[in-house]
Structure 1
Amino acid sequence: MLAWLKKKPALYDNIKRFNAVNVADASTPARACNYLAIDLEMTGLHARQDHIVSIGWVPIIDQQIQLNQAKHFLIKPPVSVGQSAIYHGVHDKDLKDASELSEVLQLLLQDYCGYYFIAHHCRLDRAFLELAFQRFFGKVPRMLFIDTLNIEWYRMQKQGIVMKKDALRLPNCLARYKLPVSSQHHALEDAYGCALLYLAQLKKSHAEITIADMLQQSR
């Protein structure tokens, strides 16, 4: 209880500062915005009962992926990872010196005020992040997400393309743009792949496309 009371004011201030910094407004050219591509690996697909085991992120500034600022964190969950290790490759023995989730969330808030967040099938990552903020600190920051999966679905539908099974999986989307495909279910590699995909989607867009347009396509 006392540890929680000590953490809450610090993070509350971080959330307050994070929310006080406005992202670029809706009319801003999408190419002029800052982004953070992010990916999570979890023990399952249900935010209320499963847990985050790793987080990876890659910033995009001036349409350039900032690999020197890329981060990957292993997160120690409160329970064994169990059979989920088959999918994400993280075993209990790998988590001996893993990061505290609350500390990683604080770093996210401190360093990425004013950024738009990008994820492939963001609904899942977003649900886990929001619940983690709520559980640890009683407040969810205002994080605006763009979903590269939904953008791809929108564009394929608009072109009248009949989608095959698994056409919207990240590796298949990357292959469609002739981008490098890495192994799936590694948070940093998937965040990097998501960043590559978004930049490719942006490149295929008209020159004056705004951030509002990209948000609309990603719904």
Structure 2
Amino acid sequence: MKEPMKGNGGFWEAFKGGGVSPRIASMLGAPSAQQIAFVRSLTKGQRRPETLHVPLSQLKTAVFDLETTGFHYHYGDEILSFGSVKVEGEEITEEIYYSLCKPGCTVPERIVELTGITQEMVQDAPPLLQALREFMAFVDDRVLIAHGSAHDKAFLDVALWKTTKAHLGHRVLDTMMIAQKLEPERKISSLDDWLEVYGIPVTKRHHALEDAKMTAGLWKVMIGRLKEINVITLGDLYAFLSKS
């Protein structure tokens, strides 16, 4: 199983083993100014029109989740961990990314209870810019997918602006929004509820990587459901979601 980073170790060994372009490999070890430029480069040009014509069964995606110190980035809450898994069409790959991230604030007790992430665990974790550049290098130019994506997208965008003065340029799909559109009669929204509906086993909740993997399972099932109603391409999906 490929695991570029777990906690705050293992990432560099994985990259030394190959599978990464020389451009990415060089930038990952570069000084801060180049790190910032590298992350900026990964936020641009991700909305190519031709992507709209790609069938969902062939679409390259990265399903991701973040754990944070709270739910209000405008009040100073920050990212605690990144988790992501690559999906090739309907195949959930073994290519995963996970990293803790050292916040500039203390981890609240309620978040410790919810996520299991303690202040001691993040004390020696990578700083935000390092974890962010590794995450962005991992997801590359893929379409991003999250459940209840508004929260994760907002924190990711704020982190990008804080570290590099860039905004997230990737397309982001929301499995919660898709599920609610497919089955509007179900008045539910939480990941737990939708996992139960689609019969996807719950492994460990409120862990960025495990939540990303379960959301990937949800996305895989949805591709089949969408195909049944003739929603084939990414463009079809956008059109389906925009219908009143």
The answer to whether residue 187 in structure 2 is matched with residue 187 in structure 1 is no
Q: Which stretch shifts more, 43-52 or 6-15?
A: 6-15
TM-superposition CA deviations, 1:3-56 (whole Å, max 9, x none): xxx523432244225524665521221111100000001111111220111111
Q: Which residue of 1 aligns with 2:128?
A: 101
> Where does 1:8-19 land on structure 2 (aligned, <5 Å)?
8-16=33-41, 18-19=43-44
1:161-204 Cα distance to aligned partner (Å, 9 max, x none): 242xxx22112111111111123111111000110000100011
Change (3 A) 1:111 1:120: same
Give the aligned partner of residue 233 of structure 2.
Answer: 210
1:81 aligns with 2:119: no
Aligned length: 207
Tell me what 1:53 maps to: 80
Change (3 A) 1:162 1:58: closer
How big is the shift at 1:101?
1.7
Query: Contact between 2:46 and 2:170, CA under 8 Å: does it hold in 1?
Result: no
SS at structure 2 position matched to 1:19? coil
For the Cα contact (< 8 Å) 1:150–1:217, is it kept in 2? no
Greater shift in the superposed pair: 49-58 or 95-104: 95-104
Partner of 2:174: 147
Distance in structure 1 (CA, Å) of the matches to 2:231 and 2:239: 15
Counterpart-to-counterpart distance in 2, 1:27 and 1:62: 13
CA spacing shift, 1:54–1:181, aligned 2, 3 Å: same
Shift of 1:62: 3.6
Name the stretch that deviates more: 24-33 or 196-205.
24-33
Confirm or deny: 8 A CA contact 2:59 2:89 kept in the other structure.
yes
Deviation, 1:137, is 1.0
Q: Which moved more, 1:178-187 or 1:195-204?
A: 178-187
Unaligned runs of 5+ in 1: 1-5
Paired with 1:44 and 1:218, the residues of 2 have a C-alpha distance of 29
Distance, in Å, in 1 between the alignment partners of 2:204 and 2:136 is 28
Percent identical: 24
Letter in 2 for 1:139: A
Report the CA distance shift for 1:7/1:96 in structure 2 as closer, same or farther (over 3 A): same
Is 1:197 equivalent to 2:231 in the alignment? no
TM norm structure 1: 0.86
CA RMSD of aligned residues (A): 2.0
For normalisation by structure 2, the TM-score amounts to 0.78
Cα distance in 1 between the residues matched to 2:79 and 2:181: 29
**Corresponding residue of 2:25:** none
Write out the 4+ residue segments of structure 1 that deviate beyond 6 Å after TM superposition. Answer: none
Paired AA for residue 153 in structure 1: Q
State the distance in 1 between where 2:213 and 2:139 align: 17
Higher relative contact order (CA 8 A, sep 6+): 1
Pick from 76, 87, 96 the counterpart of residue 70 of structure 1: 96
**Is the 2:156–2:168 contact (alpha carbons within 8 Å) kept by the matching residues of 1?**
no
Shift of the 111–42 alpha-carbon distance from structure 1 to 2, 3 Å rule, reads: closer
Query: In the alignment, does 2:59 pair up with 1:33?
Result: yes
Deviations 1:135-165 (A, max 9, x none): 11111131110000000111112xxx242xx
